[in-house]
Chains A and B, each alone.
Chain A
């Protein structure tokens, strides 16, 4: 639902790096987005195509890598991965306690970009 402000942020960061590095064209942008984010890959690309028109990044492809939802148990320190948000609700698979903390799955990160 908020793909537009997020893609605007991506464009701003990408163009700042492009300027510093004398880039003529941005080909691909690699993103890391946590699995807990509800951003849709297709919509991100559509919004990006829209906001990047007339810039060095026009036509660039977003490659979105989804980072896993990882949790740690506060009782036994076990670290494990969850498939989706509903599993955050579940007890630690090792000791069965329900005192767990989310350690990743919510990130929005630009890793790198391929440029000409």
Chain B
């Protein structure tokens, strides 16, 4: 009878992805391209926010978009119609983007002289939070109709983001969404997060978002 042996492993399961992610960050730092990972539930306004951002910045910055979607190309087509370089990664049923898929997206974008690349992650508040994409900044959207209790249900997402955009604030008068309670819950999870209220429909708050983004890109370029 063979003896059972014990072999020590002591390895991080995420080490592979973390390594690829670090590679993505370095590669883009060398190209002076800031990568922004945008996450939210389906229908919160990721594509609308990207279109607003392109509209505000396309004359001053070279922007590219990497879209992730389980099956369709709808979002990439909308972005490309704005004259912006866009690639669509079809995740084939996967619930998030990992750093290897982002590398494929970077390879598919022919140019390398982008100032800003926006990664539209899969619509999901759970899985994308677990996988480092190599982004320099993580931004999430929560829309008013989703409710102010989401930080309790999806704490990890709120704790890893640099910015929370509360979208569809034009719905506030019709809803029992408690913006103060949301702010309290989110800041308890992540005291450093910046919270901005916006409406992609009316344009309210978009200026604050654009000036935050412009400042961050400038700071990134200075290194």
Contact = CB atoms under 8 A, between A and B. Distances in A.
Given A5-B94, A89-B185, A102 B159 contact: yes
Do most interface residues of chain A lie in helix, strand or loop, or is the interface mixed?
A: mixed
Given A5-B98, A106-B156, A108-B13, A116 B5 contact: yes
A110 B98 contact: no
Contact of A108 (B5, B10, B12): B12
A112 B7 contact: yes
A110 B9 contact: yes
A1 B156 CA distance: 14
Interface string B1-28: 0111111111111111100000000000
How many interface residues does chain B have, given as a range? 35 or more
Interface stretch (B51-59, B109-117, B125-133, B207-215): B125-133
A9 B130 CA distance: 14
B16 A113 contact: no
Interface in A1-55: 1-2, 4-6, 9-10, 12-14, 17-18, 21, 23-24, 27, 31, 36-38
B189 interface: yes
Contacts of B151: 89
Interface in B192-222: none
Nearest to B160: A106
User: Which of A88, A102, A106 counts the most chain B CB atoms within 10 A?
Assistant: A88
A96 B38 CA distance: 34
A93 to B, nearest CB: 14
Contacts of A112: 6-10
B157 to A, nearest CB: 11
A85 interface: yes
A38 B156 CA distance: 10
Contacts of B10: 109-112
Contacts of A107: 12
A86 B4 contact: no
B124 interface: yes
A1 B8 contact: no
Given A2-B127, A36-B155, A14 B191 contact: no
A65 interface: no
Interface in B130-159: 130-131, 151-152, 155-156, 159
13 contacts: A1-B126, A4-B94, A5-B98, A17-B7, A21-B7, A36-B156, A86-B152, A88-B159, A110-B11, A113-B7, A114-B5, A115-B7, A116-B5
Interface of A: 1-2, 4-6, 9-10, 12-14, 17-18, 21, 23-24, 27, 31, 36-38, 85-86, 88-90, 98-100, 102, 106-116
